[in-house]
Amino acid sequence: MPQMAPIGWLSLFIIFSIAFLIFNMMNYYAFIPLTPKSNLSIQMKSMNSLNWKW
């Protein structure tokens, strides 16, 4: 019956939207950013840049 076709399109849209969101969330939370080895070296670099060379 052609009258039921929009329900099929709507269900496909909902299923693919949910799959897209789940895929994006999995990729977002699977990414592990690289952290610096020590925060001390970063602090020393920023402190050295604040010292004036008179």
pLDDT at 46: 55
R_g of the chain, CA atoms, integer Å:
26
Backbone φ/ψ region at 36: left (φ over 0), alpha (ψ -120 to 50), beta: beta
Residue ranges of the domains in the chain? Answer: 1-33
Q: Helix, strand or coil for residue 9?
A: helix
pLDDT at 38: 59
Mean pLDDT by runs of 10 across the 54 residues of the chain is 72 95 93 69 56 63
Using CA atoms, how far apart are residues 18 and 50, in angstroms rounded to an integer?
A: 50
pLDDT at 10: 87
